[in-house]
Structure 1
Amino acid sequence: MVNSSHAPAGPPLGATAREIAARCEPRVNALARRMTQDAFARLRGYDELPSDVKDVEIAATARHGLRLFLDRVAAPADAPGDYEYFRERAAQRADEGMPLRLLLSTHILGTQVLWRALRDVTLRGEESGLAELSDYLFTAQERIVAAVTETYLDEQAAIVAERREERRSLARALLEGAPVATAEAGGFGGGAVVLFLRLPGEGGPGLPVAVRRLVRRVQAALDRAFGVGVPTLLDGAGGHALVPGALDVPDELTASLREFCGPGLRIGVADAGSFAEIPEAARTAEEVVRVARACGRPPGLHRLDDVLLEYHLSRPSAGSERIAALLEPVDGRPELTETLRAYLELGQDRRATGRRLSLHPNTVDNRLARVASLTGLDLTSSHGTALALAALLLREVGGEPGA
């Protein structure tokens, strides 16, 4: 598995070097067998390769490399086409999932086997010819390893991009309720867990490179947490993730995502009984996040049961506009709205509200009294607090998704 193409231009190798190489010509097949059955067998993971890969394809590549090297020794010349065979094999190995470490190790060990063979047939007094061959051989190794690595990584990047786009296309189709073939839908026929992620800092001007890196890290964390490739539609603000089957959301997922998304991360969760129910589950997961955020729930993972009353109160009805209008008098007073939201979320506990907002309880009382005075709502009664909560939710959740 060695290649001398594109070796630096220079004078032809000396007669002694060519004579040493010629002695190895009859041993090409035996050397290829030694590489594939002996040297490579010591590599971790080599035994796990399919027999046709080890005994046919890798052996053929070894023979090709040996003959190519010996031909170039006999008649040195630049030959760009010499790389193509190795590039094709490297792309094939990447497509099959062979680790790059294992692929490169076969090339390096193949070079070692050939060098030992050249050394073994060198006679006393021919050391200068062997030195010439060594320089030529190891320069060839450097070039072929570089070419194989480049091709492998290019192919691997293309495969990853293709798979990512396939998963995005599947996620988009499922979220839109478009027809999806059973084979393409995978395990989604039996239902799904639908996540909506709202990433903190979404209003900032995120750099495209930073956004792509964040999305890749979120994707990797989801794949790792659920043990499957999770179809997603994500951008710098967040988006949806679809997990096939009725799986529980791992406890460590939120903590894992917060490591690079920040503490403001919110995740809405809804279940779909079949892929036909996924669009509705996706809307529910997104609405759950919006409701939790609007009513002051701390960031984290939210399910419908966590905000069931608030979700119900935020649904539009015949009286929605009149209820939402109850808080119009405090428009332009964000400190009053913030205090009211925290007070309602914390069960009308003025001291807890003060701790959350870093306010003295008397300041909380003064702000709530001002809200009551401006709106006419009695925040000391269950009826008044229910109206205030409904008005707050309708004003902050009643618009378009994402508002």
Structure 2
Amino acid sequence: MTGHSLAIGGRDVSAYLRAHRRDLGSTVVDVLVAEIPVYARLPEELLRGDVRRVVTQVVGSFVDALSRAGEVTEEELRDLTESALRRAEEGVPMGMILAAYFRGTHVCFDAVTATATEADLRAVIELNRAILRFMEHVTAAVAAGYEAHTRTTMADRAVSSQLLTSVIADPDVAAAAQRAGVVLPPAFVAIELIVAEHPDESEPHIDARVVTRRKVRRVRDEVERHCATPVHWLPSTHDLTALVEYRETDLGEAGWGWVRRMIDDVVRAAAVPVHAGIAIADPARTQAALTLAAEVVEVAFRTGRPAGAYRLADVALDYQLSHATPAQALLAAALDPLADEPHLRTTLETFLAAGLNRRRTATQLGVHPNTVDNRLRRIADLTGLDATRGPDLPMLAAALTARQRTARIT
């Protein structure tokens, strides 16, 4: 096709497209609105302005590319990439942009082949080759535009998070924010996450770093998908720490429901258990909220609670018992007589977690219910505390929590 014109149905393809590109641009916009939901939600002035202009421009670029068998110039590639970058900044998904280009291609192809006959087969094949080559360039340019936006966004977020970290670390948060030019929200929701290891991370023939990065990316993407306000990712002693800007100073039941749904979706996206500690505070108390969220998730994780989101209210007793006090060592020591018989402590933990149900405990341990009874009596003989007596239960539960805390410290 290079060096000569392409005719189909007795019409010069380039001349036809050039003469009708504005009408084709309008037709493509109508098709996009009818077939691609994201375009149906765009303002009319944007559709009939910038979107129509870009579509018309792309038709013109394709006309020029026809004389080069579908190849495009460096300048045209830059224009396509910059257009994709603008769409990325506007929040239009890349898939929708690519779908738009392909829909536009269909419209133009149908228009120029409407009068094709069998004698035009070779010309139609040449046109298809040119379209495929052109769309190869378009796809690469769109991907480059979105990649550039992602790099810029990630860099901006990193700088923003670093700046925010320095602001909230200052004793006078308001003054620090003013000096740094940071506009603080009414409150921050602190989220501390403990993400379990994925089975592939321990496979010797699989690159664990790749698995970990993919898992963390899925977690971060899911959190950000649920948040209409900025999410700041901070350095963490656990797996991930996030500060979410929040418009209210209290989560309330509606906000807590939103957080729980978000973390449930995070667990599904990560495909591994994820525990989350949640706290909310005004900007001046953000550091305290971060500390509390970290302590809450630690308690939830260490006490064997299922994956999900936890507030202080959800772990209040264990949280209180997990903090170092003069009584903590005494509580932990109450279970010292079980040190040489670890199966007794396991039985006690399982019995309490099973709601004092001996049959459920037996099933989980894989033993006969009579064995559970015998072990509970043995625990009572050694410790003086009977797990089947109401007055002794708080002491045993507290002793287990204190023991876990003491074991973690040592």
Provide the TM-score with structure 2 as the length reference: 0.69
| Aligned twin of 2:80 | 89
Give the conservation status (yes or no) of the 8 Å contact 1:200–1:261: no
Question: Which digits, 9 at most, give the CA deviation of each residue in 1:219-270, with x for residues without a partner?
Answer: 44434445556445699x8533443323223354455444455684433322
1:115-126 to 2 correspondences below 5 Å: none
User: d(CA) in 1 for partners of 2:235 and 2:102?
Assistant: 35
In structure 1, C-alpha distance between the alignment counterparts of 2:32 and 2:350, rounded to whole Å? 62
Matched, 1:152 2:150: no
Q: Which has the higher contact order (CA 8 A, sep 6+)?
A: 1
Q: Per the alignment, in what secondary structure is the counterpart of residue 202 of structure 2?
A: coil
Q: Which moved more, 1:221-230 or 1:174-183?
A: 174-183
In structure 1, distance between residues paired with 2:121 and 2:198:
63
**Structure 1: which 5+ runs fail to align?**
none
Q: What is aligned with 1:53?
A: 50
1:141 to partner: Cα distance: 1.2
Instruction: Give the Cα separation in 2 of the matches to 1:178 and 1:266.
Output: 25
1:100 aligns to what? 98
Q: Contact (CA 8 Å) 2:230, 2:245: kept in 1 or not?
A: no
2:326 aligns with 318
Q: Cα distance, 1:315 vs. partner?
A: 0.6
Provide the alpha-carbon RMSD of the alignment: 4.5
CA separation in 2, counterparts of 1:294 and 1:22? 74
Aligned to 1:196: 192
Q: What is residue 268 of structure 1 aligned with on the other side?
A: 277
**Aligned partner letter, 2:63:** L
Q: Deviations over 1:271-290 (max 9, x none)?
A: x2223433322332332233
Letter in 2 for 1:248: W
C-alpha change, 1:135 and 1:355, in structure 2 (3 Å) is closer
CA distance in 2, matches of 1:22, 1:310: 80
Distance, in Å, in 2 between the alignment partners of 1:67 and 1:200 is 54
Question: 2 CA distance for matches of 1:103 and 1:284?
Answer: 49
Identity %: 25
Change (3 A) 1:79 1:262: closer
Is 371-380 or 96-105 further displaced after alignment? Answer: 371-380
Distance 1:354 1:294, change over 3 A: farther
Residue aligned with 2:192, SS: strand
Matched residue SS, 1:316 = coil
Deviation at residue 143 of structure 1 after TM alignment: 0.7
Q: Report if the CA contact (8 A) 2:332-2:406 is conserved.
A: no
For 2:288 and 2:81, the matched residues in 1 are separated by 45
Match of 1:214 in 2: 215
Residues 173-198 of structure 1 show CA distances to partners (whole Å, capped at 9, x for unaligned) of 65673578589977x62213333333
What is the SS of the residue equivalent to 1:248? Answer: helix
**Equivalent residue for 1:277, pick from 285, 295, 304:** 285
- Cα drift, residue 148 of structure 1: 0.6
For 2:164 and 2:353, locate their aligned partners in 1 and report how far apart those are by CA, in whole Å.
35
Whole-Å Cα distance in 2 between the matches of residues 184 and 205 of structure 1? 45
Aligned residues: 373
1:205 lines up with 2:213 in the alignment: no
Check if 1:163 corresponds to 2:161: no
Contact 2:385 2:392 in 1 (8 A): yes
Q: Letter of the aligned partner of 1:100 in structure 2?
A: L
Structure-2 change in CA distance of 1:196 and 1:34 (3 Å): same
Secondary structure of the structure 1 residue equivalent to 2:310: strand
Amino acid at match of 2:137: A
CA distance in 1, matches of 2:144, 2:291: 38
Further displaced range: 161-170 or 336-345: 161-170
Query: 1-side partners of 2:52 and 2:273: how far apart?
Result: 55
What SS does structure 2 have at the residue aligned with 1:240? strand
Written as runs of structure 1 = structure 2, the 5 A alignment for 1:213-362 is 213-226=214-227, 230-232=231-233, 238-245=239-246, 246=251, 247-250=255-258, 252-253=261-262, 255-261=264-270, 264-270=273-279, 272-331=280-339, 333-345=341-353, 350=358, 353-354=361-362, 356-362=364-370
> Tell me, what secondary structure is at the counterpart of 2:276?
strand
Question: Which of 32, 43, 49 is residue 43 of structure 1 equivalent to?
Answer: 32
Q: Distance in 2 between matches of 1:354 and 1:79?
A: 72
**Residue identity in the other structure for 2:202:** P
Query: Of the two, which has the highest radius of gyration?
Result: 1
Q: Secondary structure at the match of 1:43?
A: helix
Measured in 2, the distance between the counterparts of 1:201 and 1:23 equals 58
CA distance, structure 2, for counterparts of residue 167 and residue 344 of structure 1: 45
Question: For 2:257, what is the secondary structure of its paired residue?
Answer: coil
What TM-score does the superposition give when structure 1 sets the normalisation length? 0.70
- For 1:277, the aligned partner's letter is R
Distance (Å, rounded) in 1 between the aligned partners of 2:275 and 2:197:
12
Cα offsets for 1:148-205 (capped at 9, x unmatched) = 112212332443454356556655765673578589977x622133333333446962
Query: In structure 1, what is the Cα distance between the partners aligned to 2:112 and 2:81?
Result: 20
Which residue type is aligned with residue 136 of structure 2? Answer: A
Alignment-mate amino acid for residue 244 of structure 2:
V
What is the SS of the residue equivalent to 2:141? helix
Q: Any unmatched runs of 5+ in structure 2?
A: 34-38, 171-175
